C-alpha cells in the first residue's frame, strides 16, 4: 500500500475513560470508587484536583457524541464505571447506572459510531478495596460477575469488549509506587494484584465464551513499550531486559504462553520474594484465546543498571529525544518496532487494535480563538506513519484510537496535562477544536495520513 494509506475498513477512533471525563460522581446511585477516595486525599493529586465534575460528560454526552460525529470517527472507546453498575462492587445492581451507558450507546449508534467498551479503567468500587481490592483473589470473581452482567445486557450493541486496561499500571502504580489509587507501597500486593487482574480477565473471558450466543469480540489492553539500555554496557542491557520483563513480558507471557517469564521469576526469587504460585488451571485460563490485543503506546523507556535500587536494580534515565509535556520522549519508530515484535513473538495473525496513542502539550487558546497544537499534529502524524508501515509489513493492525477525544482528568496530574484533540475550558465546559482535531478529521476522511 502507498505510504501512509490505511486498508479499507480500518477503524478510526478516539478514546476516553469514565473517571477521567464523566463527573456526576454522586448521581443516579453511583457508588464511591477508589479514585474518588484517592483524589480527595490531600497530597495525592496535583493541586487537589478530583474527578467530581471532570468534563461533565455524564450530562453532556449527547453533545460529545455530536463532536465525534463531526470528527468522522467510526468508533469510540470508553469505559464503564463499575460503581455506577454495582455501587458496592457486588450484590445489588443499580439500573440507573446501566441506563446511562444504554443512552450513550444509542446516541453513538444513531451516528453510526461503533462502541468499544472497556470494563475496567481503574475505578474500582471502594467497597471492594475495603475487602482487599485487587490484591485479593475474590475481586477477580466479582469482576467476572460485573462483566457477565454487562455482557448479558449490552452485547448485541457492543462489537468490541476490553476486559482490563493496563494491568501493569494498576498493579505497579497502584500498589508498589503508590502514585495511583489505592496508593499502596507494597511489592507483594503488587504481584498479587497483577495476577488477580490477569485472572479477572480470564474469568470474564470465560463468562463471555460460555454465556450463550454473543455478537462481539473480546480482548485486553496492555501498555507496552520498547525498553532500551541507556548505554552499551552489558549491565545496562541486562537492566533493560529486566524492565522489559516486568513492563511487557510479565503480562504478554501469561496471556500468550501461559506462564510468567522464567528469567523474572528467577530474578525475584533471588531477592527472596515469595511470589504467588498460581494454580495451573488459572494460568491455562489466562492463556485462553482472545479475539484481539489492545495496545496502548506512548513512548519508550531508557534504563541504566543501578545496583542500589530495590527490586529491579535499575533506574530510568532521561533520553535525548524531544519530549511531550509529560516529559516522555517522542519515539514513533518504537511503535513500529513494538508491533513487529508482537507479531513475531506473541500475537502472530491475531488482530491488534491501537487502543491509545497520543500526547500532552501545553495548549492554550490563541487570541484568534483557535488552539494551535503543531507538536501534537506532528506526534500523531509520525505515529500513524509508523502504524501504516507496520501494516505494510504484515502486522494485522485493525484500528487506531487517539487518546484522547478531549482534555480530561489525567490521574495524579489532575487537569494540568491536556491530551485532547478537543480543548476543554474547565470553567465553562466549552469544547474547542484544536488544530489536531481538524487534522484528524481529514485523516479519517482520506483514510490516509495527510499533511
Ligand atoms: O490518560 C491515560 C493515558 C495518558 O498517558 C489513560 O487513562 C491511561 O490508560 C494511559 O496510561 N495513559 C497514558 N499512559 C502513558 C504511559 C507512558 C509511559 C511513558 C514513560 C516514558 C518515560
pLDDT digits (tens, 9 = 90+) for 135-184: 999 999 999 999 999 999 999 999 999 999 999 999 999 999 999 999 99
Looking at the chain, how many residues does it have? 451
Mean of pLDDT values over 40-55:
99
Q: Are 292 and 352 in contact (CB under 8 A)?
A: yes
Spatial distance between the Cα atoms of 100 and 110, rounded to a whole number of angstroms: 16
How many C-beta neighbours within 10 Å does residue 416 have? 14
Alpha carbon of 358 to those of 57, 177, 244, 355, 436: distances in Å? 20, 24, 22, 10, 11
> How far from the centroid of its chain's Cα atoms is residue 436's Cα?
21
Sequence-distant (6+) residues with CB within 8 A of 226 are: 300, 301, 331, 334, 337, 338, 341
Which 8-state DSSP code applies to residue 57? Answer: H
Question: What's the pLDDT score for residue 3?
Answer: 81
- Compute the distance from residue 122 Cα to the ligand 1 centre, in Å: 13
Which of ligand 1's atoms lies nearest the C-alpha of 302?
22
Please, what sign has the CA dihedral across residues 305, 307, 310, 313?
positive
Per-residue pLDDT tens over the stretch 99-147: 999 999 999 999 999 999 999 999 999 999 999 999 999 999 999 999 9
- Compute the distance from residue 393 Cα to the ligand 1 centre, in Å: 27
- Compute the distance from residue 93 Cα to the ligand 1 centre, in Å: 31
Binning pLDDT at 50, 70 and 90, where does residue 312 land? Answer: very high
Tell me the ipTM for this assembly: 0.95
Backbone angles phi, psi at 308, to 5 degrees: -75, -15
Mean of pLDDT values over 262-290:
95
**Does 442 score more than 70 pLDDT?**
yes
Question: Catalytic site residues?
Answer: 356
Question: What's the pLDDT score for residue 195?
Answer: 98
What CATH number was assigned to the domain covering residues 11-446? 3.20.20.80
Question: What's the pLDDT score for residue 159?
Answer: 98
DSSP notation for 157-219: G-SEEEEEE-HHIIIIIHHTS-SSTT----HHHHHHHHHHHHHHHHHHHHHHHHSS---SEEE
Sequence-distant (6+) residues with CB within 8 A of 320 are: 329
Which of ligand 1's atoms lies nearest the C-alpha of 316?
22
How many C-beta neighbours within 10 Å does residue 386 have? 22
| Grid coordinates given for 1 | 500500500
Question: What's the pLDDT score for residue 117?
Answer: 99
- Compute the distance from residue 298 Cα to the ligand 1 centre, in Å: 7
Which of ligand 1's atoms lies nearest the C-alpha of 328?
21
Per-residue pLDDT tens over the stretch 389-420: 999 999 999 999 999 999 999 999 999 999 99
For the chain, the structural domain boundaries read 11-446
Spatial distance between the Cα atoms of 382 and 3, rounded to a whole number of angstroms: 12
Binning pLDDT at 50, 70 and 90, where does residue 274 land? Answer: confident
- Compute the distance from residue 328 Cα to the ligand 1 centre, in Å: 10
Spatial distance between the Cα atoms of 10 and 27, rounded to a whole number of angstroms: 37
Sequence-distant (6+) residues with CB within 8 A of 53 are: 23, 426
- Compute the distance from residue 403 Cα to the ligand 1 centre, in Å: 9
- For a mutational test of ligand 1's pocket, the pick from 166, 224, 325, 412, i.e. the residue with the most ligand atoms closer than 8 A to its C-beta, is 166
User: 12: part of which helix (H) or strand (E)?
Assistant: strand 11-15
- For a mutational test of ligand 1's pocket, the pick from 33, 45, 180, 296, i.e. the residue with the most ligand atoms closer than 8 A to its C-beta, is 296
Binning pLDDT at 50, 70 and 90, where does residue 1 land? Answer: low
Q: Whose CA is nearest to atom 7 of ligand 1?
A: 17
Of all residues in the chain, the percent with pLDDT exceeding 70 is 100
Q: Give the mean pLDDT of the chain.
A: 98
Confidence (pTM) = 0.98
Binning pLDDT at 50, 70 and 90, where does residue 300 land? Answer: very high
Per-residue pLDDT tens over the stretch 204-241: 999 999 998 899 999 999 999 999 999 999 999 999 99
Q: Whose CA is nearest to atom 21 of ligand 1?
A: 328
- Compute the distance from residue 223 Cα to the ligand 1 centre, in Å: 8
Binning pLDDT at 50, 70 and 90, where does residue 2 land? Answer: confident
Please, what sign has the CA dihedral across residues 33, 38, 40, 46?
negative
How many C-beta neighbours within 10 Å does residue 137 have? 16
Q: Whose CA is nearest to atom 15 of ligand 1?
A: 298
Pairing of strands 397-403, 430-433: unpaired
Mean of pLDDT values over 20-28:
99
Can you point out the beta strands (E) in 43-155? 75-79, 114-120
Q: Whose CA is nearest to atom 2 of ligand 1?
A: 410
Residues with beta carbon inside 6 Å of ligand 1? 17, 20, 165-166, 169, 223, 296, 298-299, 301, 316, 328, 356, 403, 410, 419
User: 129: part of which helix (H) or strand (E)?
Assistant: helix 126-130
Which of ligand 1's atoms lies nearest the C-alpha of 408?
1
Which 8-state DSSP code applies to residue 64? Answer: H
Residue of 87, 64, 63 whose CA lies nearest to 16:
64
- For a mutational test of ligand 1's pocket, the pick from 51, 119, 326, 412, i.e. the residue with the most ligand atoms closer than 8 A to its C-beta, is 326
Per-residue pLDDT tens over the stretch 339-379: 999 999 999 999 999 999 999 999 999 999 999 999 999 99
- For a mutational test of ligand 1's pocket, the pick from 356, 404, 418, i.e. the residue with the most ligand atoms closer than 8 A to its C-beta, is 356
Task: Give 316's strand partners.
Answer: 303
Spatial distance between the Cα atoms of 439 and 441, rounded to a whole number of angstroms: 5
Amino acid at each position: 500500500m502507498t505510504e501512509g494509506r490505511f486498508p479499507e475498513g480500518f477503524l478510526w477512533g478516539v478514546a476516553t475513560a469514565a473517571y477521567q471525563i464523566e463527573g456526576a460522581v454522586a448521581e443516579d446511585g453511583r457508588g464511591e470508587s477508589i479514585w474518588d477516595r484517592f483524589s480527595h486525599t490531600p497530597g495525592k493529586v496535583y493541586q487537589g484536583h478530583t474527578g467530581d465534575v471532570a468534563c461533565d460528560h455524564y450530562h453532556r454526552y449527547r453533545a460529545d457524541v455530536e463532536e465525534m460525529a463531526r470528527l468522522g470517527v467510526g468508533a469510540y472507546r470508553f469505559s464503564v464505571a463499575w460503581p455506577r453498575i454495582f455501587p458496592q462492587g457486588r450484590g445489588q445492581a443499580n439500573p440507573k447506572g446501566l441506563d446511562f451507558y444504554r443512552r450513550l450507546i444509542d446516541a453513538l449508534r444513531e451516528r453510526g459510531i461503533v462502541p468499544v467498551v472497556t470494563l475496567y479503567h481503574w475505578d474500582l468500587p471502594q467497597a471492594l478495596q475495603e475487602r482487599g481490592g485487587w490484591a485479593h483473589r475474590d475481586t477477580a470473581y466479582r469482576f467476572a460477575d460485573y462483566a457477565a452482567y454487562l455482557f448479558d445486557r449490552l452485547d448485541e450493541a457492543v462489537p468490541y469488549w476490553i476486559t482490563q486496561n493496563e494491568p501493569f499500571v494498576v498493579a505497579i502504580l497502584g500498589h508498589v509506587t503508590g502514585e495511583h489509587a489505592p496508593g499502596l507501597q507494597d511489592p507483594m500486593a503488587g504481584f498479587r494484584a497483577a495476577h488477580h487482574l490477569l485472572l479477572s480477565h480470564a474469568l470474564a473471558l470465560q463468562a463471555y465464551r460460555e454465556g450463550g450466543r454473543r455478537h462481539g469480540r473480546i480482548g485486553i489492553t496492555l501498555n507496552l513499550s520498547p525498553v532500551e539500555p541507556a548505554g552499551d554496557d552489558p549491565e545496562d542491557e541486562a537492566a533493560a531486559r529486566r524492565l522489559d520483563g516486568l513492563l511487557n513480558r510479565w503480562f504478554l507471557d501469561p496471556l500468550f504462553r501461559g506462564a510468567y517469564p522464567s528469567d523474572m521469576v528467577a530474578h525475584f526469587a533471588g531477592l527472596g520474594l515469595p511470589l504467588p504460585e498460581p494454580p495451573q488451571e488459572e494460568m491455562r485460563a489466562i492463556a485462553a484465546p482472545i479475539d484481539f490485543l489492545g495496545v496502548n503506546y506512548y513512548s519508550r523507556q531508557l534504563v541504566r543498571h543501578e545496583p542500589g535500587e530495590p527490586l529491579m536494580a535499575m533506574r530510568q534515565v532521561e533520553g535525548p529525544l524531544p519530549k511531550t509535556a509529560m516529559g516522555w520522549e517522542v519515539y514513533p519508530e518504537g511503535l513500529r518496532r513494538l508491533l513487529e515484535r508482537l507479531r513475531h513473538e506473541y500475537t502472530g495473525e491475531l488482530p491488534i487494535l491501537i487502543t491509545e496513542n497520543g500526547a500532552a502539550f501545553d495548549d492554550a487558546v490563541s487570541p484568534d480563538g483557535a488552539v494551535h497544537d503543531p507538536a501534537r499534529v506532528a506526534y500523531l502524524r509520525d505515529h500513524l506513519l509508523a502504524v501504516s508501515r507496520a501494516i505494510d509489513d504484515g502486522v494485522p493492525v485493525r484500528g487506531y484510537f487517539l487518546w484522547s477525544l478531549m482534555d480530561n482528568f489525567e490521574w495524579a496530574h489532575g487537569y494540568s496535562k491536556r491530551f485532547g484533540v478537543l480543548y476543554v475550558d474547565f470553567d465553562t465546559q466549552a469544547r474547542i477544536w484544536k488544530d489536531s482535531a481538524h487534522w484528524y478529521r481529514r485523516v479519517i476522511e482520506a483514510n490516509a495520513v495527510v499533511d
